[in-house]
């Protein structure tokens, strides 16, 4: 299963929609948004691509009532998890949180195969050694809005556990992954 991982869209509908469109064209079946959406309306163009979206709020929530209305009217397409999310996708245990330090801590537990986070606006993909002797992938897609950093998002392949950082319109880098 391929997934689109985005974060920190900060009320910017156009770059969020562009990332979801590109990810769907590359085979993504689901979107994970790691927080700081802010305006619920900014999600509507991305939802038009028909992919299920898992969303957490981050430290910039915006209008919670509008977000809950959008969830109710999405027919199950939009799932809002609150401050963090624990989901299974493609047979993988996935934890989603906004703060990058919290994401690192959760990756260190070894309870999750993939931990997605945001907040720093810096794209990063790395394997984290866990206290239980295993490891987890820690993926921060950066800021799709391009605030104080280039606009980036991540295409993940959960079958191969490979993650590629993409800019809007081009791949930024494909980290070497074990």
3-13: pLDDT as tens digits: 999 999 999 99
Q: Kind and range of the H or E element at 93?
A: strand 92-97
Number of H helices, E strands in the chain: 4, 12
In angstroms, what CA-CA distances link 92 with 16, 61, 83, 106, 113? 25, 27, 20, 15, 6
Residue 178 has pLDDT above 70, yes or no: no
Structural domain that includes position 155: 2-173
In a domain, 157, yes or no: yes
* Reported pTM: 0.94
In a domain, 178, yes or no: no
Kindly report the CATH number assigned to the domain that includes residue 40. Answer: 3.60.21.10
């Amino acid at each position: 299963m391929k997934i689109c991982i985005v974060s920190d869209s900060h009320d910017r509908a156009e770059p969020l929609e562009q990332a979801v469109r590109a990810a769907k064209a590359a085979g993504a079946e689901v979107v994970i948004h790691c927080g700081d959406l802010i305006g619920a309306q900014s999600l509507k163009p991305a939802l038009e691509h028909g992919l299920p979206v898992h969303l957490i709020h981050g430290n910039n929530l915006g209008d919670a009532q509008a977000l809950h209305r959008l969830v109710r009217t999405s027919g199950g397409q939009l799932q809002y998890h609150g401050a963090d999310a624990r989901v299974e996708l493609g047979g993988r245990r996935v934890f989603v949180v906004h703060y990058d330090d919290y994401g690192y801590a959760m990756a260190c537990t070894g309870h999750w195969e993939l931990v997605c986070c945001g907040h720093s606006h810096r794209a990063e993909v790395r394997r984290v050694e866990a206290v239980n002797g295993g490891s987890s992938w820690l993926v921060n897609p950066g800021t799709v809005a391009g605030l104080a950093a280039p606009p980036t998002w991540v295409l993940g392949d959960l079958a191969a556990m490979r993650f590629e950082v993409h800019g809007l319109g081009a791949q930024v880098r494909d980290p070497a992954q074990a």
